[in-house]
Chain A
Amino acid sequence: MAKKILLKNDHIPGIQSYDVYRANGGYASVEKALKSMTPETVLEEVKKSGLRGRGGAGFPTGMKWGFLAKPPGVARYLVCNADESEPGTFKDRYLMERIPHLLVEGMITSSFALGAETSYIYIRGEYYYILRILEKAIEEAYANGWLGKNILGTGFSHDVYMHIGAGAYICGEETALLESLEGKRGNPRIKPPFPAVAGLYGCPTVVNNVETIAAVVPIINDGGEAYAAIGIGKSTGTKLISASGHINKPGVYEIELGVPVEEFIYSDEYCGGMRNGKKLKAVVAGGSSVPILPADLILKTAKGEPRLMSYESLGDGGFVSGTMLGSGGFIVMDEDTSIVKNLYTFTRFYHHESCGQCSPCREGTGWMEKIMHKILDGHGTLNDIDLLWDIQSKIEGKTICPLGEAAAWPVAAAIRHFRSEFENYVKNPSSIRDVKHYFRVNNLEPALN
């Protein structure tokens, strides 16, 4: 049976509303934290839990909170990153849509630990309807005394504000998000200084993913050690995985970290196997920016051990034979999928979303897309594959923010693992006649001459 912590009460009808949520043990963590704990002990529990950032990088949350500068007389902020734009990831959406109060509760408890009197939820523009759901939840929380001045008579005051983005992928990067929240152009800042020292309005700020903040609730309720007992090794707790692609049951699954990948794809409890009984070809394990892996490497590591759904096991072998858990956007591809077409879609996305601040990403992403377009059009040469490899190596690690890497890694991995497919495309342009059709039906720009 799947271990459910965040989605424990997901099946209860009406859990969206305050009354049902409260009747099922909601806001207990706020009560516990504010009445019987200090900010330091809350931080201690989070550190003990071993919770790692669920947004993609997997940085230990307790450590991140510990870095927060606390100069006297300066406001501190907690910002919730709900700008979930990674292609293949839709877990935060599910969580906010189904159990909005869980996020609000997590915001209050986390803010108490950080000493933040104000917090913001930055939600992406496309989630406009979720904005209303969350605003209703916040309103109910205010009405019942969980937000506002002097919460539960403890002297702790807290306000939560919603801010809606304008639909830019780059605003999911924490410093770009802060710029956007301040009302400026959403360009990533150059670090240092890190947000923990100078973030929103120049004040110390912690930016956390929706799922990370929601996970604070069970950690406080059941204790950090109980949470750390779930999962495997340094990957503690549960993770929401957004499974999509050619599987029988796509959707959001809460898994205990450490479930074997094979079980996740083929068991009826999760994805339910490949659609139409096709063979597995490749998996993008953590959202579009992590390296793609072919079937043999995603099921077993290079050493022959079964690969597990955990930060360490998926990262085993580095980028040569491994990948990353990332944000948990699990995209499964069957044997009929063209990796070349898939890569074109990814490069097109990153070209569109590059902010244009630093030159390698601004120019390189466009260049890669044009080369992919050319290959898809049947005009590619073998040199183009090497050129793609060279361009991605010159973007990776030379940019201000991780978008450069996010654009470079999928290209590198696709060429590393599926080079023969690219060569086949280049050598047999006639085998891709359907591509022209694909362009026409999808109303894409005409072929380059």
Chain B
Amino acid sequence: MPKVTIDGQTIEAPEGTTILEAARMIGGPIVPPAMCYYSKLKTTGGYCRTCIVNVTKGSEKDPRPMPKPVPSCRQTIMDGMEVQGITSPDLLEARAGVVEFLLINHPLDCPICDQAGECDLQDLSYNHGKEKSRYEFPRRTFDMVDIGDKIKLHMNRCILCYRCVKVAEQLCPGRVHGVISRGDVSEISTYIQNAVDNEMSGNVIDVCPVGALTDKTFRFKSRVWFTKPMDAHRNCDKCCGRVALWLVGEDVFRVTGRKDKYGELEDAPDGRQGWICNECRFEKKSKSDWVIEGPRQIARQSVISQNHYEQLKQLKIDISRQKLLLEKAHN
């Protein structure tokens, strides 16, 4: 198996693994951010350019460095390859540039956006962006569009990651969803505002890294961090039936797939993919429809985990550990 070194950490990975996947195997801060890559969908990646890395050594056979930064989500590893991500200041600067480009036409309306709190772009701009934009011109705007009666398309927020296009291509038969126009006015669209009429179409909401595609049954109901996520399942003949319920009190406000730490849907233990059907997503809005498994684990850094009881114990341990460290330092 080829061996690759990413930011000084070496790992062996199967032939054909991309740099990004290898980095995810290592885990930790070296994992490049990805806005358009989605491991569960084919042919995604390569568009947003946030995951670029420098390849300082091509392979054992051909040790020349690659002349330009490469998208780690598309570049497969070679034996002896050496990759620089966060250890290269030039690359971090380039990545900050990409984040700035993604944000110049983004409305930054997080205070009224349903995605706020679970938005990949928000996380990305906190981690890799600059505090201030140098863009001073009017942003491009589009009208909001309904794609069917359950999905809202807010094109202003879109960063054209093409993930929803791939969902429409690969999960929903019959091509009705794509990109029209070109350049910075290109937009996600269905042909003449057609509804995406397919029972799996709701998954475009889950794959959207920003708030461009939102659930109309949840719009403006609650901020995500006021809701309580619970793992639940039901027997569904169309999909895997494993979901996350977002509760306020006893009411189910929203149903989504279960996202892992990279924002991708988790596979079910029986190997089925984590996509959920529109019936589970939009119709089953009562607690009695579901078998509740327990509270969902949310990353501590996420705003959603604030005030959640399952985290409090961990938090206390962390605080006491910090106190110990402080005392040690003082002594």
Among the 9-residue stretches A80-88, A229-237, A333-341, A347-355, the one with 4 or more Cβ atoms under 8 Å from chain B is A347-355
Instruction: Assess the A364–B186 pair: CB atoms within 8 A.
Output: no
Instruction: Assess the B97–A360 pair: CB atoms within 8 A.
Output: yes
- Nearest B residue (CB) for A351: B183
Interface string of A395-418 (1 = CB under 8 A from B): 001111000000000000000000
Cα of A165 to Cα of B40 in the assembled complex, Å: 34
Instruction: Assess the B68–A353 pair: CB atoms within 8 A.
Output: no
Q: Give the contacting residue for A370; candidates B50, B97, B137; CB below 8 A.
A: B137
User: Residues of A contacting B182 with CB < 8 Å?
Assistant: 168, 170, 353-356
Q: A190-B46, A370-B137 are in contact. Are A397 and B68 (CB under 8 A)?
A: yes
Instruction: Assess the A398–B184 pair: CB atoms within 8 A.
Output: no
Q: Does B325 contact A (CB under 8 A)?
A: no
| Main secondary structure on B side of the interface with A | loop
Q: Does B105 contact A (CB under 8 A)?
A: yes
Q: A387-B134, A399-B49 are in contact. Are A366 and B69 (CB under 8 A)?
A: no
| Main secondary structure on A side of the interface with B | helix
Q: Does A194 contact B (CB under 8 A)?
A: no
Q: A185-B179, A351-B184, A364-B101 are in contact. Are A359 and B71 (CB under 8 A)?
A: no
Shortest Cβ gap from A382 to chain B (Å): 14
Interface string of A360-399 (1 = CB under 8 A from B): 1011111100100010000000000001001001100111
Q: Which of A358, A370, A399, A448 has the largest number of chain B CB atoms within 10 A? A: A358
Q: Does B181 contact A (CB under 8 A)?
A: yes
Instruction: Assess the A397–B101 pair: CB atoms within 8 A.
Output: no
Instruction: Assess the A398–B159 pair: CB atoms within 8 A.
Output: no
Shortest Cβ gap from B46 to chain A (Å): 4
- Nearest A residue (CB) for B185: A356
User: Residues of A contacting B49 with CB < 8 Å?
Assistant: 358-360, 398-399
User: Residues of A contacting B179 with CB < 8 Å?
Assistant: 185, 356
User: Residues of B contacting A362 with CB < 8 Å?
Assistant: 101, 160, 183-184, 186
Report B33-86 residues with CB < 8 Å from chain A CB.
45-50, 52, 67-69, 71, 74
Q: A398-B52, A398-B68, A399-B49 are in contact. Are A359 and B135 (CB under 8 A)?
A: no
User: Residues of A contacting B47 with CB < 8 Å?
Assistant: 357-359, 400
User: Residues of B contacting A448 with CB < 8 Å?
Assistant: 137
Cα of A431 to Cα of B182 in the assembled complex, Å: 36
Shortest Cβ gap from B102 to chain A (Å): 5
Instruction: Assess the A358–B183 pair: CB atoms within 8 A.
Output: no
Cα of A399 to Cα of B186 in the assembled complex, Å: 17
Q: A185-B179, A356-B182, A358-B49 are in contact. Are A363 and B102 (CB under 8 A)?
A: yes
Instruction: Assess the A365–B104 pair: CB atoms within 8 A.
Output: no
Cα of A366 to Cα of B105 in the assembled complex, Å: 10
Instruction: Assess the B105–A363 pair: CB atoms within 8 A.
Output: yes
Contact count band on B: 20 to 34
Shortest Cβ gap from A371 to chain B (Å): 8
Instruction: Assess the B46–A356 pair: CB atoms within 8 A.
Output: no
Instruction: Assess the B69–A397 pair: CB atoms within 8 A.
Output: yes
User: Residues of B contacting A393 with CB < 8 Å?
Assistant: 97
Q: Give the contacting residue for B183; candidates A365, A390, A398, A400; CB below 8 A.
A: A365
Instruction: Assess the A360–B101 pair: CB atoms within 8 A.
Output: yes
Instruction: Assess the B159–A359 pair: CB atoms within 8 A.
Output: yes
Q: Does B98 contact A (CB under 8 A)?
A: yes
User: Residues of A contacting B102 with CB < 8 Å?
Assistant: 359, 363
User: Residues of B contacting A400 with CB < 8 Å?
Assistant: 46-47
- Nearest B residue (CB) for A399: B49
Instruction: Assess the A394–B101 pair: CB atoms within 8 A.
Output: yes
Q: A190-B74, A398-B49, A398-B68 are in contact. Are A354 and B183 (CB under 8 A)?
A: yes
Cα of A390 to Cα of B104 in the assembled complex, Å: 15
Q: Does B94 contact A (CB under 8 A)?
A: yes
Q: Give the contacting residue for A356; candidates B68, B135, B184; CB below 8 A.
A: B184
Cα of A224 to Cα of B152 in the assembled complex, Å: 63
Report B95-148 residues with CB < 8 Å from chain A CB.
97-98, 100-102, 104-105, 134-135, 137
User: Residues of B contacting A168 with CB < 8 Å?
Assistant: 182
User: Residues of B contacting A357 with CB < 8 Å?
Assistant: 47, 160, 162
Cα of A185 to Cα of B178 in the assembled complex, Å: 10
User: Residues of B contacting A351 with CB < 8 Å?
Assistant: 183-184
User: Residues of A contacting B48 with CB < 8 Å?
Assistant: 358-359
Shortest Cβ gap from A22 to chain B (Å): 43
Cα of A430 to Cα of B68 in the assembled complex, Å: 42
Cα of A446 to Cα of B46 in the assembled complex, Å: 36
Q: Give the contacting residue for A367; candidates B94, B98, B135, B162; CB below 8 A.
A: B135
User: Residues of B contacting A397 with CB < 8 Å?
Assistant: 67-69
Cα of A360 to Cα of B179 in the assembled complex, Å: 18
Instruction: Assess the A352–B183 pair: CB atoms within 8 A.
Output: yes
Shortest Cβ gap from A221 to chain B (Å): 38
User: Residues of B contacting A185 with CB < 8 Å?
Assistant: 178-179
Cα of A359 to Cα of B50 in the assembled complex, Å: 9
User: Residues of B contacting A387 with CB < 8 Å?
Assistant: 134
Instruction: Assess the B183–A353 pair: CB atoms within 8 A.
Output: yes
Instruction: Assess the A366–B134 pair: CB atoms within 8 A.
Output: no
- Nearest A residue (CB) for B138: A448
Cα of A400 to Cα of B71 in the assembled complex, Å: 9
Instruction: Assess the B74–A394 pair: CB atoms within 8 A.
Output: no
Cα of A448 to Cα of B74 in the assembled complex, Å: 39
Interface string of B179-200 (1 = CB under 8 A from A): 1011111100000000000000
Instruction: Assess the A394–B183 pair: CB atoms within 8 A.
Output: no
Instruction: Assess the B186–A359 pair: CB atoms within 8 A.
Output: no
- Nearest A residue (CB) for B161: A359
User: Residues of B contacting A370 with CB < 8 Å?
Assistant: 137
Q: Which of A185, A355, A370, A394 has the largest number of chain B CB atoms within 10 A? A: A394
Interface string of A30-55 (1 = CB under 8 A from B): 00000000000000000000000000
- Nearest A residue (CB) for B186: A356
Q: Which of A351, A398, A400 has the largest number of chain B CB atoms within 10 A? A: A398
Cα of A352 to Cα of B45 in the assembled complex, Å: 24
Q: A190-B46, A190-B74, A367-B104 are in contact. Are A394 and B98 (CB under 8 A)?
A: yes
User: Residues of B contacting A356 with CB < 8 Å?
Assistant: 160, 179, 181-186
> 8 additional contacts, CB 8 Å, given A352-B183, A366-B183, A399-B49?
A190-B71, A351-B183, A351-B184, A353-B182, A355-B183, A359-B102, A362-B184, A394-B100
Q: Rank and list the top 10 A-B pairs by shortest CB-CB distance, nearest first.
A: A394-B97, A356-B186, A363-B101, A397-B68, A190-B46, A354-B183, A366-B184, A356-B183, A370-B137, A359-B101
9 pairs, A vs B, C-beta closer than 8 Å = A185-B178, A353-B182, A356-B184, A357-B160, A360-B98, A367-B135, A390-B97, A393-B97, A394-B98
Residues on B close to A: CB < 8 A?
45-50, 52, 67-69, 71, 74, 94, 97-98, 100-102, 104-105, 134-135, 137, 159-160, 162, 178-179, 181-186
